[in-house]
Amino acid sequence: MVRPGIDSSDPAGECLFISDLHLAPERPETVARFLDFLAGRARRAERLYILGDLFDAWIGDDDDTPPYPQLRAALRALTEAGIACRLLRGNRDFLIGRAFARDTGCTLLRDPTLVGLGGERVLLMHGDLLCTDDVAYQRFRRRVRNPLVQRLFLWRSLARRRAQAADYRRRSGSATAAKAAASMDVSGPTVARVMRRHAADRLIHGHTHRPADHAFTLDGRPVVRQVLAEWHPERGEVLVADATGWSREAV
């Protein structure tokens, strides 16, 4: 059985959940939207959870291409203002490491992580682990999550890493274009298995870019799976948990 990460439970204040911003040098509007969010809306929260794919492609914590230094500084300013920032890595930014956490004050979370919120057991994931019908992706995932493969990648120059990431993106683009849409969504039996294993009342994840609240019954218990929205240049979305319950807000 995979042990989940555990996050400290029941903060008194508001928790915000975001994912799939896909920030990149060539997406200045989305970067600006996120910087505004960090300097504004996020400051009213107690905790910010980022559930993966904050970056479109992270090739190592030593990448100082703009706007990465500015983004690190903005996250650092948020955590220094007393807002806890928890970061769970996605399939595009799984190479975020300890240096990034140290520079920003963010805490890295395991996938999955269990947190108690409002009396519920809430399971947090990026979402890619739930896409078990996508056998080719799961094979690719096992290979690139191998620590030795990652160490060899990180030994290369930034230019070579950038080229290799671009090659993966190209190959992934042609692979996904050829896959049936349903095979890239989460698998229902896998969701049930994971929620049952962790006795979760609520599962929050991103990755699929299919935002929705799926309420259903699991072994006679009402449960919910909330899928976060990807961010666009003209719109971001945040899932909010506070004393009054759960809601979604455009930012």
Q: Which of 6, 32, 39, 144 binds ligand LP5 (CB under 6 A)?
A: 144
Q: What is the DSSP letter of 25?
A: T
> Is residue 150 a contact point for ligand LP5 (CB under 6 A)?
yes
Q: Which of 101, 108, 175, 218 binds ligand LP5 (CB under 6 A)?
A: 175
Tell the smallest beta-carbon distance from residue 123 to ligand LP5 (Å): 19
Nearer to Mn ion, 91 or 226 (CB): 91
Nearer to ligand LP5, 58 or 68 (CB): 58
Using an 8 Å Cβ cutoff, are 50 and 90 in contact?
A: no
Q: Which of 9, 107, 176, 187 binds ligand LP5 (CB under 6 A)?
A: 176
11 upstream amide cis, omega within 30 of 0: no
172 binds, among Mn ion, ligand LP5, none (CB under 5 to 8 A by kind): ligand LP5
The residue ranges that bind Mn ion (CB under 5 A) are 53, 90-91, 207
90 binds, among Mn ion, ligand LP5, none (CB under 5 to 8 A by kind): Mn ion
Q: Which of 42, 56, 49 is nearest to 251 (CA)?
A: 42
Tell the smallest beta-carbon distance from residue 204 to ligand LP5 (Å): 17
Name the residue type at position 30: T
User: What does the DSSP assignment read for 187-225?
Assistant: PHHHHHHHHHHTT-SEEEE-SS---EEEEEEETTEEEEE
Which residues have C-beta within 8 Å of that of residue 115, sequence separation ≥ 6?
Answer: 6, 7, 8, 9, 122, 124
- For 150, the enclosing helix (H) or strand (E) is helix 147-155
Nearer to ligand LP5, 49 or 58 (CB): 58
> Is residue 191 a contact point for ligand LP5 (CB under 6 A)?
no
Q: How far apart are CA 231 and CA 22, in angstroms?
A: 7
> Is residue 59 a contact point for ligand LP5 (CB under 6 A)?
yes
Measured torsion, CA atoms of residues 30, 53, 93, 117, in degrees rounded to the nearest 10: 120
Tell the smallest beta-carbon distance from residue 185 to ligand LP5 (Å): 8
Nearer to ligand LP5, 37 or 137 (CB): 137
Tell the smallest beta-carbon distance from residue 53 to Mn ion (Å): 4
> Is residue 85 a contact point for ligand LP5 (CB under 6 A)?
no
